[in-house]
């Protein structure tokens, strides 16, 4: 879930990718390691 929206519910594939990237950046900003984020 990103910004209160479930990524699976987003119909546009481009918007889905943007949401996933947003989540990735958010997790990295919180100090998580890249390996941990990509596995989850």
pLDDT for 9: 75
pLDDT for 21: 87
pLDDT for 3: 63
What is the biggest distance separating any 2 CA atoms in the chain, rounded to whole angstroms?
Answer: 30
Show the low-confidence residues of the chain (pLDDT under 70): 1-5, 7, 40
């Amino acid at each position: 879930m990103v910004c209160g929206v479930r990524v699976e519910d987003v119909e546009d594939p481009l918007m889905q990718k943007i949401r996933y990237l947003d989540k990735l950046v958010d997790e990295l900003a919180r100090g998580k390691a890249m390996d941990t984020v990509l596995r989850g």
